[in-house]
């Protein structure tokens, strides 16, 4: 790839771009079919963009549900029917007799998965319901999770492996928060979202700990818009739900939704 093409991607994304190009080259030149690990929406966008540049290759995605955030991809030569390929998706069902189970949140389950040594790339969406949690996991890794996971945030749990057809989806809760800002700058909205001074927000942004729509963002002055999903390492993430208009003092009224 030439340097001009690399300019379209953040430096942190170049390793994934190189991997994606390898998959595409294998499909075009060696007629090979590749199944990826779980991709976030930004990675899926990059892969789709690269695939669309090559008429000899196509790809499809599946994360267990049409609205899945994290999905695996299958890439193959354009003549190959990919719909019948195995995406390798299974469900780890987690439940407990402990009454504290109902208070566990998405982050608790994600932390428990990572604490037993599971790579994030092997984990899809996490669906937290009242009595159970369903985690979409790559079939090649789910037996390990089934054997290793026995506790979530100090709550003892039991696990069971289910086919992807048994997945029970949940709608992730958003904690809504409204405030007024002088502009839609990233640093200003992050400052209000996490109740930190702007000075304390700028440093982690410039250190590469912030992502906007899953893309690394180093500029504190980045202008946000409705629908943007923003994450800050160590704090969580939120979605810009609505720009509600101007206050009497000429400031913008913004509503965000923090992910639980």
Assign 122 a pLDDT band (cuts: 50, 70, 90). Answer: very high
Average pLDDT of 95-108? 92
Assign 130 a pLDDT band (cuts: 50, 70, 90). Answer: confident
d(CA 197, CA 6): 35
pLDDT of 247 > 90? The answer is: no
* Residue that wins the pLDDT comparison between 5 and 35: 35
Nearest to 229 by CA among 11, 72, 45, 9: 45
**Digit-coded pLDDT (tens) for 134-176:** 999 999 999 999 999 999 999 999 999 999 999 999 877 789 9
Considering the entire predicted model, what is its pTM? 0.85
The CATH number that domain 3-77 falls under is: 3.30.1370.160
Please report the pLDDT score of residue 204 as a whole number. 93
Q: What is the 3-state secondary structure (H, E, C) of the chain?
A: CCHHHHCCCCHHHHHHHHHHHHHHHHHHHHCCCEEEEEECHHHHHHHHHHHCCCCCEEEEEECCCCCCCCEEEEEEECCCCCCCCCCCEEEEEEECCCHHHHHCCHHHHHHHHHHCCCCHHHEEEEEECCCEEEEEEECCCHHHHHHHCCEECCEECEEEEEEHHHCCCCCCCEEEEEEEECCCEHHHHHHHHHCCCHHHHHHHHHCCCEEECCEECCCCCCECCCCCEEEECCCEEEEEEEEEEECCCCCEEEEEEEEC
CB burial string 13-22: b at 16+ within 10 A, e below? beebbebbbe
Token reading at 127:
């669906």
d(CA 145, CA 139): 10
pLDDT of 201 > 70? The answer is: yes
End-to-end Cα spacing for the chain: 40
Assign 4 a pLDDT band (cuts: 50, 70, 90). Answer: low
Rounded to the nearest integer, the mean pLDDT of the chain is 93
Tokens 């800002």, residue?
Answer: 181
Lowest-confidence segment of 72-86, 146-160, 239-253 by average pLDDT = 239-253
User: In terms of DSSP bridges, do strands 158-163 and 89-95 run parallel, antiparallel, or are they unpaired?
Assistant: antiparallel
Average pLDDT of 50-57? 95
CATH 3.30.1600.10, domain 174-259, yes or no = no
d(CA 105, CA 3): 43
Assign 245 a pLDDT band (cuts: 50, 70, 90). Answer: confident
CB 244 within 8 A of CB 253: yes
Q: Is 24 exposed, middle or buried (0-12, 13-18, 19+ CB in 10 A)?
A: buried
Looking at the chain, the whole-number percentage of residues with pLDDT higher than 70 is: 98
The CATH number that domain 89-166 falls under is: 3.30.70.330
d(CA 18, CA 9): 11
Please report the pLDDT score of residue 198 as a whole number. 86
Q: What are the residue boundaries of the structural domains of the chain, listed by start?
A: 3-77, 89-166, 174-259
């Amino acid at each position: 790839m030439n340097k001009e093409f690399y300019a379209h991607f953040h430096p942190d994304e170049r390793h994934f771009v190189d991997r994606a190009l390898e998959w595409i080259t294998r499909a075009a030149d060696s007629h090979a079919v590749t199944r990826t690990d779980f991709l976030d929406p930004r990675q899926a966008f990059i892969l789709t963009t690269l695939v669309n540049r090559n008429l000899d290759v196509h790809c499809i995605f599946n994360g267990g549900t049409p609205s899945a955030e994290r999905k695996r991809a299958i890439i193959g030569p354009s003549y190959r029917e990919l719909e019948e390929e195995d995406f390798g998706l299974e469900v780890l069902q987690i439940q407990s007799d402990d009454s504290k189970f109902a208070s566990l949140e998405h982050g608790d389950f994600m932390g428990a998965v990572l604490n037993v040594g599971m790579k994030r790339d092997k984990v899809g969406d996490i669906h937290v319901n009242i009595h159970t949690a369903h985690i979409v996991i790559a079939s090649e890794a789910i037996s390990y999770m089934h054997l290793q996971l026995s506790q979530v945030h100090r709550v003892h749990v039991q696990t069971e492996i289910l086919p992807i057809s048994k997945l029970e989806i949940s709608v992730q809760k958003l904690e809504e928060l409204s405030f007024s800002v002088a502009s839609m700058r990233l640093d200003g909205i992050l400052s209000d979202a996490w109740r930190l001074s702007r000075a304390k927000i700028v440093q982690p942004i410039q250190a590469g700990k912030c992502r906007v729509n899953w893309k690394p963002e180093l500029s504190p002055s980045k202008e946000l818009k409705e629908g943007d999903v923003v994450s800050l390492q160590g704090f969580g993430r939120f979605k810009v739900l609505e720009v509600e208009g101007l206050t009497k003092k000429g400031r913008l009224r913004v509503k965000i939704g923090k992910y639980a």
